Structure 1
Amino acid sequence: MNNKIAIITGASHPRDIGTAICRKLASKGIDIFFTNWQADNEWINRLQQEIENLGVRCVGMEIDLSPSDAYKVVLDSVELELGTPSILVNNAAHSTRDGYLELDGNTMDAHYAVNMRTTFLLSVEFVRRFKRERANGRIINMTSGQDLGAMPGELAYAATKGAITAFTKSLSAEVAPLGITVNAINPGPTDSTWMTDEIREHLLPNFPMGRIGQPSDVAEVVSFIASDEAAWITGQVIHSEGGFNR
């Protein structure tokens, strides 16, 4: 996968999924452009150096993805710094607790702006700028299994992430003739920045493999979907949950 450029949104913490994806794709020889939000600058610099030590280029960008023009800023920046990307991983997400008693317009809008609008507009602008002669294209969206079970208390998050499934399937049909695949990954509950010991204790019995999913598990699936070997896979939601029982 040498000479390919990947955009990964939402790499803001040493233990998050976006960071694991950056590391994995970099290990495959892919140049990395990642976005972060309110991350520790010292850690960001260390991550960039770690990735560059793998022999690839790496650029990190702090950006709030909620403004309506954020997608253009990201794509303009990656083209200026690295070149035209062939891989887009829409990993960034906004999530707060709500439920029917708390859900209001501001909460809904905040989730929509990041989870839907920026994900969708990044995807279509990526396609519009795509140069097929350089490589096959890959768009990989992250979802959370909203079609598999209820998420009480997270109505805005479930609704906006669930919309990604419909978008993925429809966009995949449109852009297949261009040599671009579009897929989504549902990693199930993953032990990243949001889990506490109490949550781990509650969830562990639901994993028949005896452990909770790790960010590195997600990164392995992303790496495969981004590879040439996955060229025949498109329009799919891949449930990589380790057999998680709801």
Structure 2
Amino acid sequence: MPRLPHPTAAQLRRDPLPLRGRTALVTGASRRGGIGYAVARRLVAYGASVYLHHHVPHDAAHPWGADRPEDVVAGVREARADPGARVLDGPGDLSDPAAPAELVRTAAEALGGRLDILVANHALSGDDGTLDTIDARMLDAHWAIDTRSVILLVQAFARLRAELPPRTPGGRVVMMTSGQDIAGGMPGEIAYGLQKGALASVTRSLATTLAEHAITVNTVNPGPVDTDYLSGEAYESIAAMFPAGRWGMPDDPARLIAWLATDEAEWITGQVINSEGGFRR
């Protein structure tokens, strides 16, 4: 096989809109304080059209609350660099086994029949415990939302991409994990840590499976991110564990995820990438 030539000077110049013409589905974008919102803003700033998935009842049941979907959409549209890019949204309860495939189909149809990028950002918050306090219901709830729905989303996405010409470029899957296998783990969140660990473990298998379709699969551990769930003394103690003296902000992992969606990252696949600012556990 001949060696590929070095890129031309023109190819080395960075495109200010590297995702122009691409389409993306971002799950778990119910509020402006979250990672999903930051990811969506980055993607549209790079030129992509984005479909935002939300499940407002989940966030509304927690202290941080949920934003109105129209406010989330407006904030993402504000970041658009390509006036022709679309920002659309829709609900979905991903604990329903049929919901992932329906969501992928709905997003693709809304964005013109094609989906290039899947960012599975959603997760079940709360309803967890230690080894002594968890029960079957907690384990099943986290499995259904944190893991099963993600695999079914990837399955539906892959089937949709398989309808395109062979090796159509731009196929990207990014999943999210939580550093549950680093240092002390997550002993107080056994169900959540278990299901997120499953995504980390299956990353390489999915990448190998989808390589023939020119789809990369990577998983990002964002580390502790300030998404408005902690304050006071506990907040400050976590901030002191970062060399920078601050928490990660939603845009910190969003920059990595947006880059993974570009053609510059086409050689990166099957990786679990820690993006946590040197956090010292």
Question: How many residues are paired up?
Answer: 246
- Give the whole-Å Cα distance in 2 for the aligned partners of 1:233 and 1:30: 20
What code does the residue aligned with 2:125 have?
A: S
The answer to whether the 8 A contact 1:87-1:137 is kept is yes
Q: Which residue of 1 aligns with 2:55?
A: 37
What are the ranges of 5 or more consecutive residues in structure 2 without an aligned counterpart? Answer: 1-18, 57-65
Q: Which residue of 1 aligns with 2:89?
A: 60
Q: Which residue of 1 aligns with 2:16?
A: none
Asked if 1:127 corresponds to 2:158, the answer is: yes
Asked if 1:106 corresponds to 2:137, the answer is: yes
Moved more, 31-40 or 48-57: 48-57
- Give the whole-Å Cα distance in 2 for the aligned partners of 1:214 and 1:165: 22
The answer to whether the 8 A contact 1:116-1:163 is kept is yes
Asked if 1:178 corresponds to 2:213, the answer is: yes
1:95 aligns with one of 118, 122, 125: 125
Q: Which residue of 2 aligns with 1:47?
A: 75
The answer to whether the 8 A contact 1:51-1:58 is kept is no
The answer to whether the 8 A contact 1:17-1:219 is kept is yes
TM-score (norm 1): 0.94
What code does the residue aligned with 1:75 have?
A: V
1:84 aligns with one of 110, 114, 125: 114
Asked if 1:167 corresponds to 2:208, the answer is: no
The answer to whether the 8 A contact 2:226-2:247 is kept is yes
Cα distance, 1:3–1:15 mapped onto 2, change above 3 Å: same
Q: Which residue of 2 aligns with 1:8?
A: 26
Structure 1 residue 219: deviation in Å? Answer: 0.7
What code does the residue aligned with 1:66 have?
A: S
Q: Percent identity?
A: 38
Cα distance, 1:197–1:42 mapped onto 2, change above 3 Å: farther
Structure 1 residue 225: deviation in Å? Answer: 0.6
- Give the whole-Å Cα distance in 1 for the aligned partners of 2:277 and 2:81: 32
Asked if 1:198 corresponds to 2:244, the answer is: no
Cα distance, 1:125–1:45 mapped onto 2, change above 3 Å: closer
- Give the whole-Å Cα distance in 1 for the aligned partners of 2:268 and 2:167: 20
1:73 aligns with one of 99, 102, 105: 102
Cα distance, 1:152–1:42 mapped onto 2, change above 3 Å: same
Q: Aligned to 1:206, what secondary structure does the other structure show?
A: coil
What code does the residue aligned with 1:87 have?
A: I
Cα distance, 1:140–1:41 mapped onto 2, change above 3 Å: closer
Structure 1 residue 41: deviation in Å? Answer: 3.8
- Give the whole-Å Cα distance in 2 for the aligned partners of 1:5 and 1:15: 23
Alignment RMSD: 1.6
- Give the whole-Å Cα distance in 1 for the aligned partners of 2:171 and 2:146: 21
Name whichever structure is richer in helix by fraction.
1
The answer to whether the 8 A contact 1:99-1:154 is kept is yes
Cα distance, 1:61–1:52 mapped onto 2, change above 3 Å: farther
1:236 aligns with one of 271, 274, 277: 271
- Give the whole-Å Cα distance in 2 for the aligned partners of 1:142 and 1:37: 17
1:207 aligns with one of 215, 238, 242: 242
Structure 1 residue 199: deviation in Å? Answer: 2.9
1:147 aligns with one of 174, 177, 181: 181
Deviations 1:177-231 (A, max 9, x none): 2111100000100001322233321201210122110000011000111110111
The answer to whether the 8 A contact 2:29-2:52 is kept is yes
Report which of the two structures shows the higher radius of gyration computed on alpha carbons: 2
Q: Which residue of 1 aligns with 2:149?
A: 118
Cα distance, 1:92–1:28 mapped onto 2, change above 3 Å: same
TM-score (norm 2): 0.83
The answer to whether the 8 A contact 2:178-2:222 is kept is yes
